[in-house]
């Protein structure tokens, strides 16, 4: 909920204050997301592992780092939180609570960008030292806001929540399935890259005298 309130709320504020300057609005949205994400991971990591992303949760369940029985409740909580975050942002800015975005985000470039964004996110999560996960994830997402054509959703729950907001950060419902499929594919790519690196490191270690 707080993550989506940060993403959507900062987008609304940025759009209001930046007088139509889309680059400046995206920069403000990025800064709020990076700092907010870092804090949320630090605060909720010790409580629940800071699971805010169904793609990450699915990978962790597959790796037995999350109990299988917790997978569905976690994903449902993530989707519910995303919706509540969108509605909370609307309430804070005196907007109509129930909205559906009209912002089309579609096409092969957008989908490829989501594969890349999510694969990179998973790779960072799986390979970062535990004490540095929050900072590294936040920095990666901040960078991916700018180097990907999709501005790096990298999160099926975020796509769902942003669908419910016809504001700067929104995504049209028709565009959501493509994003979610690309994100799940990206998660699989990220996991595969992690395993390949593990095998490479193990091979080098065995060959070292």
Helix (H, G, I), strand (E, B) or coil at 154: coil
Q: Among 175, 174, 132, which Cα is nearest to 153's?
A: 175
Q: Is 208's pLDDT higher than 80? A: no
Q: Is 209's pLDDT higher than 70? A: no
The pLDDT, as a whole number, for residue 207 is: 62
Q: Round the CA-based radius of gyration of the chain to a whole number and report it.
A: 17
Give me the sign of the Cα torsion angle 183, 131, 206, 65.
negative
Cα of first residue to Cα of last residue in the chain, in angstroms, is 51
Q: Is 75's pLDDT higher than 80? A: yes
- What are phi and psi for residue 121, nearest 5 degrees? -60, -45
> Tens digit of pLDDT for each residue in 8-56?
999 999 999 999 999 999 999 999 999 999 999 999 999 989 999 999 9
> Tens digit of pLDDT for each residue in 89-119?
999 999 999 999 999 999 999 999 999 999 9
Map out the domains of the chain as residue ranges. 2-207
The pLDDT, as a whole number, for residue 202 is: 72
pTM: 0.93
CATH fold group of domain 2-207? Glycerol uptake facilitator protein (1.20.1080)
Q: Is 206's pLDDT higher than 70? A: no
Q: Is 181's pLDDT higher than 80? A: yes
Q: Are the C-beta atoms of 108 and 185 separated by less than 8 Å? A: no
Give me the sign of the Cα torsion angle 76, 55, 150, 3.
positive
Long-range contacts of 133-138 (CB under 8 A, 24+ apart): 133/41, 133/45, 134/37, 134/38, 134/41, 134/42, 134/45, 134/50, 135/38, 137/37, 137/38, 137/41, 138/34, 138/35, 138/37, 138/38, 138/41
The pLDDT, as a whole number, for residue 201 is: 80
How much of the chain exceeds pLDDT 90, in percent?
Answer: 93
């Amino acid at each position: 909920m707080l993550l989506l309130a940060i993403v959507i709320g900062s987008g609304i504020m940025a759009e209001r204050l930046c007088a139509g300057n889309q680059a400046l609005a995206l920069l403000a949205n990025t800064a709020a997301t990076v700092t907010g994400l870092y804090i949320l991971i630090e605060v909720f990591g010790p409580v629940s592992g800071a699971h805010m992303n169904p793609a990450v949760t699915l990978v962790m369940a597959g790796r037995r780092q999350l109990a299988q029985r917790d997978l569905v409740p976690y994903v449902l909580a993530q989707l519910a939180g995303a919706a509540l975050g969108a509605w909370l942002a609307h309430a804070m800015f005196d907007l109509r609570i129930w909205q559906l975005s009209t912002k089309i985000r579609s096409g092969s470039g957008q989908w490829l960008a989501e594969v890349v964004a999510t694969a990179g996110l998973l790779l960072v999560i799986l390979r970062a030292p535990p004490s540095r996960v929050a900072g590294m994830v936040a920095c990666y997402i901040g960078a991916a806001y700018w180097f990907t054509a999709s501005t790096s959703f990298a999160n099926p729950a975020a796509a769902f929540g942003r669908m419910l907001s016809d504001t700067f950060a929104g995504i049209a419902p028709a565009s959501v399935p493509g994003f979610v499929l690309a994100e799940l594919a990206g998660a699989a790519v990220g996991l595969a890259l992690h395993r390949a690196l593990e095998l490479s490191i193990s091979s080098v270690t065995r060959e070292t005298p």
